[in-house]
Chains A and B, each alone.
Chain A
């Protein structure tokens, strides 16, 4: 069986500066795969290229059996890839409910959409309580919940989360990580980008360590969690 997402020798540049220098990895259906690494390692660039916001310099991306060459971002969503971007990027002047509806922009099944909005409220009750409130008034953690809920509204085959724990309090971060674990248990396929290596590796099936545009180490989440070099570099141990 081929993987849901297959990335081969992907290279991405901003002008002359190459941010991703030939990386390969894959995500199987039902798996949680994480990319970890410091700032500037190329993790966000990788996700933005996968979802079509950036054009690759070289390499191939195959999603659900189809090559994503010159496919614009809005069509990639239609193929079943959802991207919750770094910094959350909720629509601040719209209500929480309208934000969720935008996540279902390409869907036509009204009853299904209502059901999924309810599902997002079950997952994040605080969103349900504030459904008519402008999204810009939410706290950072609540905005992150909204961004994740919104991404799920397209019923994606692959959910890509970029730094969901960024800037959150430890309690809120645990909550977000618990939600990801819950989504995993429900069978959602997730590509998770994180700087918080400990949390990401604990729940990932597969992990890849990125450094300045390259994957330097790959393994199962547990292997990497116990790898000495990873512990030194990313988990703050001497």
Chain B
């Protein structure tokens, strides 16, 4: 399926960043675009590893142990929460700007915000002002997360019309993999900059800011959009159209009026809720369900293994969706997830550690797969033109799930323990509730049908007015 690019663009202060300057010349290999996307996603994926700074930042004054003036863990926890909140807000607010301005401008903006967030936070650490860190990493960094996350999505889909799931899966896999690099790198940098009288958090923030700025700028230089009408050599769009793969585009804000958007919103939200709750509690849960069998060191290894499956699942499931279809992929998540969540209490009661580990590794791979498959699902439903912006709006489901998941797991555990349930069985109800959530997700996914033709864009309506507005701006 060849796509159409708008013929007029708004000019920016730095013309190099304009979409028109990033159109690929003949001979450009589309396989250069995934590394460009990974340059951004590997950097912003650092967010998952921010917790490595929490403990050192509670001892910035006391050094060997926390002093009364030092920050508390509860205060520091807000940094990550703010960043995830602003991820959802910025991806929803700036989605259309990202789509119309092009990936290079968006990646450049994300690079400045992300590095700027680290530099402001470094000043915050130096003068011991937590509000500056909230502003730097939380607000500015969160905006970078939102813009950076959605920046390469539609570009990759346009370059890989034959394998959109695999293409976006590669980028979103990078977001999962960013923590693998950031976590050991941050620990190593802090050890190098720390002295007996100083903890090297400030210096680490500065080095990370510089490194991430460099990587993300390379990504923005490398990225290209395909010329209008481009299609891969030998690619023939399927002659027989599938019911759930639309060839028509839907304008970003019209997508919000369709039931399909909200059904997919709930599918993503429920799939992520089920995964995120156990991801955050995996270490404690494994030790409490198997006391004496899983030590704290083994539990840390289990968490590491889960991170690998989270990353691998992003690529594997999104690629699979190119062959079996997006809706069917989510059916697999819901049905297999239901079976696995119901199996976990049995694994706990029989002391079967291997079964427990296998269940959670598959569950977490599907959690990652839920994130990476959804852009292609949206492209199937709403077309290519505004898929990045619509994806940005959909990421609010992630923010919501980030609240629901941990709340369900933590509060149910507390409730069970205060009502006399042994710790080893305290998670059983939670597992059944997660399985129940997936049943609701299954029904939502079942209700997804093709978008009604009245929502399809016509050149005389939004596309026309957008092009006219762009032309007017270019003249001015």
The answer to whether A and B interact is no
